[in-house]
Amino acid sequence: MSDYDVLCIGNAIVDIIARCDEAFLVENDIIRGAMNLIDEERATFLYDNMGPAVETSGGSAGNTAAGVAGFGGSAAFFGKVCNDQLGDIYRHDIRAQGVAFDTRPLENRPPTARSMIFVTPDGERSMNTYLGACVELGPEDVEEEKVKAAKISYFEGYLWDPPRAKEAIRKTAEIAHAAGQQMAMTLSDSFCVDRYRGEFLDLMRSGTVDIVFANEHELLSLYQTSSFDEGLAAIRADCRLGVVTRSEHGSIVATREETVAVNPVQVDDIVDSTGAGDLYAAGFLFGLAHGRSLTDCGRLGSLAASKVIEQIGPRLQTSLKEAAVQAGLL
């Protein structure tokens, strides 16, 4: 068994991305800037009504795993697909990017998950996700040797929706901590935080999770405050390491001993913000797994985020490793 920098656990989703205007969101009752869980009927309706689309393997934690591999790191992924066409696409894509993915697929139904992502002219994305096969991920899918071999195991807050996935995550945390490894999570979405605020806080305060990623909106939602400083003080108290992204204002990395402000990488043209947080986490976790300073970890995260928002889709078409070398970070 090889050692892994990061093991990612998440919803294995094929993204279907299309551009639209604000009126389309209103006409089709799509909540702007959020991730909305939908059923198979709604997924079919939106697919039939959306414009020309790009299909690409996605899912938050899967994007992070691919980003870690893009830096030249070693990554593994747990996620559930069906043995269907979209499942074949997902398995091929993530393995082709150098990520170890061996979760056993479902044989029949439900089908592989898909997310219809509508991108407005300002680059904001509104996601409508049918979870499909993802809801079948359970503790039996946790590969113990991979968890023991990973320096950091990381899961997406979105995965807290399927009930059996919670068992898988708790099992992973127990194995990781017993092996002396770290556990990390991303809050994923403000609406996700609203659904599971108490459970997320318990994961942090109990030590089940060591590292937490959030954007500014998610942080404020978690602590039900309008004050960023209050939210930052609270996350510092509740976990060993909190990482908060603030879009064009960069990011803040907070431990109980220090607070580090990281400048953003300037981008001239934001094409699509899909995957920005996922790729930030990839750069940060890659740096952390390789013993880099918190400042360098944040810079690697900012670099990766800046690259993904310059293109359509969350899987980079350029080398993160080369970009990091050119930026003097590797």
Angle between helices 60-70 and 294-308 (to 10 degrees): 110
What is the structure's pLDDT at 270?
Answer: 77
Q: What is the pLDDT of residue 2?
A: 60
pLDDT number for residue 179:
97
Rounded Cα distance, 192 and 128, in Å: 13
Give the dihedral sign, CA 316/317/323/329: positive
**Residue 158 contacts residue 58 (beta carbons within 8 Å):** no
- Intervals of the chain under pLDDT 70: 1-2
- The dihedrals phi and psi of 75, each to the nearest 5 degrees, come to -135, 150
- pLDDT, one tens digit per residue, over 275-315 is 899 999 999 999 999 999 999 999 999 999 999 888 877 77
Q: What is the mean pLDDT of the chain?
A: 93
Residue-wise pLDDT tens digits, 159-213? 998 889 999 999 999 999 999 999 999 999 898 999 999 999 999 999 999 999 9
Give the pLDDT of residue 1.
Answer: 46
Q: Does 3.40.1190.20 match the CATH number of domain 4-11+59-102+136-326?
A: yes
